[in-house]
Amino acid sequence: MPMSAAGASWSTQELVEFLELVSDCEDEPTAVRRAVERAAEALDAEVAAFVGAGRVIASVGFPAAEPGDGAILRVADGTSKQFELPGVGLAGAVSIPLTQEPGSSLIVGRRSPDGFSAEEQHLLRGFARVLSQSLRLLRVIAEERGLRATSELHAAENERLLSSLRERQALLERLSRIQRSIVHRAALQEVLDAIVAGARDLLDTAVVELRLLDPDDPKTMEMVASTGVPAAMGRQPRKPTSDGAGGRAILEERLVRVDNYAVSPLAIPAWAADHVEAAMAAPVRENGSVAGSLVVASRQRGRSFSSDEEEVLLAFAEHASLALTDARNFDAALHQALHDELTGLPNRALFLDRLGLARVRARRMHTPLAVLFLDLDGFKCVNDSFGHAAGDQLLAVVAKRLRECVRGGDTAARFGGDEFAILLDTTPQGTTPGAVADRVLLALKQPFAVSGKQVALSASIGIARTSGDPNDDIMRNADLAMYKAKRAGKGRYEEFEPVLHAAVVVRP
Amino acid sequence: MLEASQPPEPGHGVSATGYSTASGERSRWLGVGHCTHGDAALAGAAAAQRALIGDDPRLLVVFCSERYDLAGLATAITECAGDDVPLIGCSTAGEIAGGGPRDASVVVAAFGGDGFSVATRCAEHASARLRDSGAEAAAALSDIEPRPHQVLLLLTDGLAGDQQEIVRGAYGVAGAAVPLVGGCAGDDLRMAATHQLHGGRVLSDAVVAAAIGSDAPLGIGVRHGWRRVGEPMVVTGSANNRVHTLDDQPALDVYLDRLAAPGEARAEATAFTHFALTHPLGLSRQRGEDQVRFIGEADFRTRSLGCIAEVPRGGLAWFMEGDDESVMHATDAACADALAPLAPDPPLGLLAFDCIARRGVLGEPGIRREVARVSRCAGDAPVAGFYTYGEIARTRGVSGFHNQTLVVLAVG
Which residue, A277, A299, A328, sits at the end of a domain? A328
Do residues B360 and B155 touch, judged by C-beta distance below 8 A? no
Q: Show residues of chain B in contact with A14, CB under 8 Å.
A: 286
Same structural domain, A404 and A451: yes
B174 in reach of chain A (CB within 8 A):
yes
Which residue, A272, A299, A328, sits at the end of a domain? A328
Nearest residue in chain A measured CA to CA from B313: A17
The answer to whether the Cβ–Cβ distance between A13 and B284 falls below 8 Å is yes
Q: What is the mean pLDDT of residues A95-109?
A: 89
Shortest Cα distance from B122 to chain A (angstroms)? Answer: 18
Same structural domain, A375 and A486: yes
Q: Is A334 within a domain?
A: no
Q: Is A168 within a domain?
A: no
Residues A311-350 have pLDDT tens digits of: 889 888 988 888 888 777 777 777 777 889 899 999 988 8
Establish, for the pair of chains A and B, how many residue pairs have beta carbons separated by less than 8 Å: 103
Let me know how long chain A is.
508
Same structural domain, A396 and A318: no
Shortest Cα distance from B177 to chain A (angstroms)? Answer: 5
The DSSP bridge partners found for residue A250 are none
Q: Show residues of chain B in contact with A179, CB under 8 Å.
A: 314
Q: Is the pLDDT of residue A306 over 70?
A: yes
What per-residue confidence (pLDDT) applies to B294?
Answer: 83
Same structural domain, A239 and A352: no
Which residues are CB-contacts of A102 (< 8 A; sequence separation ≥ 6)? none
Do residues B97 and B110 touch, judged by C-beta distance below 8 A? no
Same structural domain, A115 and A259: no
Q: Is A172 within a domain?
A: no
Q: Is A405 within a domain?
A: yes
pLDDT band at residue A29 under the 50/70/90 scheme: very high
Q: What is the mean pLDDT of residues B198-211?
A: 96
Same structural domain, A370 and A492: yes
Nearest residue in chain A measured CA to CA from B136: A64
What per-residue confidence (pLDDT) applies to B11?
Answer: 40
Q: Show residues of chain B in contact with A66, CB under 8 Å.
A: 175
Q: Is A106 within a domain?
A: yes
Residues B2-11 have pLDDT tens digits of: 233 334 443 4
What per-residue confidence (pLDDT) applies to B68?
Answer: 96
What per-residue confidence (pLDDT) applies to A443?
Answer: 93
The pLDDT mean for chain B works out to 89
Kind plus residue range of the DSSP H or E element containing A256 = strand A256-258
What per-residue confidence (pLDDT) applies to A66?
Answer: 82
Same structural domain, A312 and A357: no
pLDDT band at residue A357 under the 50/70/90 scheme: confident
What per-residue confidence (pLDDT) applies to A150?
Answer: 60
Residues B241-255 have pLDDT tens digits of: 899 999 888 999 999
What per-residue confidence (pLDDT) applies to A359?
Answer: 85
Q: Show residues of chain A in contact with B176, CB under 8 Å.
A: 46-47, 61-63, 85, 87-88, 91, 111
Give the one of A13, A88, A185 whose C-beta lies nearest to B315's C-beta: A13
Residue B38: other Cβ atoms inside 10 A: 14
Give the one of A14, A47, A337 whose C-beta lies nearest to B176's C-beta: A47
The answer to whether the Cβ–Cβ distance between A183 and B314 falls below 8 Å is yes
Residues B331-367 have pLDDT tens digits of: 999 999 999 999 999 999 999 999 988 887 788 889 9
- No. of H helices and E strands in chain A? 15, 18
pLDDT band at residue A162 under the 50/70/90 scheme: low
d(CA B373, CA B322): 18
The answer to whether the Cβ–Cβ distance between A37 and B168 falls below 8 Å is yes
Do residues A220 and A258 touch, judged by C-beta distance below 8 A? no
Q: Show residues of chain A in contact with B313, CB under 8 Å.
A: 17, 20
The answer to whether the Cβ–Cβ distance between B314 and A13 falls below 8 Å is yes
Q: Is A176 within a domain?
A: no
Which residues are CB-contacts of A80 (< 8 A; sequence separation ≥ 6)? A71, A74, A93
Nearest residue in chain A measured CA to CA from B173: A64
Q: Is A164 within a domain?
A: no
What per-residue confidence (pLDDT) applies to B301?
Answer: 93
Residues A407-457 have pLDDT tens digits of: 877 899 999 889 999 999 766 665 789 999 999 999 999 998 887 888 888
Q: Which string of DSSP letters, residue by residue, matches A384-430?
A: HHH-HHHHHHHHHHHHHHHHHHS-TTSEEEEEETTEEEEEE-S--TT
d(CA A441, CA A459): 7
Pick from A97-111, A133-147, B305-319: least confident: A133-147
Give the one of B234, B313, B397 whose C-beta lies nearest to A46's C-beta: B397
B252 in reach of chain A (CB within 8 A):
no
Nearest residue in chain A measured CA to CA from B229: A337
Q: What is the mean pLDDT of residues B202-230?
A: 93
Q: For a pLDDT cut of 90, what percent of chain A falls above it?
A: 37
What per-residue confidence (pLDDT) applies to B1?
Answer: 28
Shortest Cα distance from A88 to chain B (angstroms)? Answer: 5
What per-residue confidence (pLDDT) applies to A234?
Answer: 64
Pick from A217-226, A336-345, B5-14, B278-287: least confident: B5-14
Q: For a pLDDT cut of 70, what percent of chain A falls above it?
A: 86
Q: Show residues of chain B in contact with A186, CB under 8 Å.
A: none
Q: Show residues of chain B in contact with A352, CB under 8 Å.
A: none
The answer to whether the Cβ–Cβ distance between A86 and B175 falls below 8 Å is yes
Nearest residue in chain A measured CA to CA from B150: A87
Residues B285-303 have pLDDT tens digits of: 666 667 888 888 899 999 9
What per-residue confidence (pLDDT) applies to A341?
Answer: 87
Same structural domain, A411 and A460: yes
Q: Show residues of chain A in contact with B131, CB under 8 Å.
A: none
pLDDT: is A67 or B216 the higher one? B216
Shortest Cα distance from B169 to chain A (angstroms)? Answer: 10
Same structural domain, A293 and A373: no
Q: Is A338 within a domain?
A: no
pLDDT band at residue A158 under the 50/70/90 scheme: low
Same structural domain, A308 and A418: no
3-state secondary structure of B359: helix
pLDDT band at residue A160 under the 50/70/90 scheme: low
Give the one of A10, A37, A111 whose C-beta lies nearest to B286's C-beta: A10
Give the one of B139, B236, B285 whose C-beta lies nearest to A184's C-beta: B236
pLDDT band at residue A17 under the 50/70/90 scheme: confident
pLDDT band at residue B322 under the 50/70/90 scheme: confident
Same structural domain, A289 and A211: yes
pLDDT: is A5 or B142 the higher one? B142
Kind plus residue range of the DSSP H or E element containing A353 = helix A348-365
Do residues B166 and B157 touch, judged by C-beta distance below 8 A? no
Pick from A121-125, A208-212, B23-27, B125-129: least confident: B23-27
With an 8 Å Cβ cutoff, the interface of chain A facing chain B consists of: 6-7, 9-11, 13-14, 16-17, 19-21, 37, 40-48, 60-66, 85-88, 91, 110-111, 179, 183-185, 333-334, 337
Do residues B17 and B382 touch, judged by C-beta distance below 8 A? yes
CATH code where residue A364 lies: 3.30.70.270
Nearest residue in chain A measured CA to CA from B395: A46
What per-residue confidence (pLDDT) applies to A184?
Answer: 60
CATH code where residue A291 lies: 3.30.450.40
Nearest to B148 by CA among B230, B212, B62: B212
pLDDT band at residue A507 under the 50/70/90 scheme: very low
Same structural domain, A320 and A353: no
| Interface residue of B141, B289, B398, B399 to substitute, partner A, most A CBs within 10 Å | B398
Q: For chain A, how many structural domains are there in total?
A: 3
The answer to whether the Cβ–Cβ distance between B176 and A91 falls below 8 Å is yes
Q: Which domain holds residue A439?
A: 348-502
What per-residue confidence (pLDDT) applies to B6?
Answer: 39
Q: Is the pLDDT of residue A99 over 80?
A: no
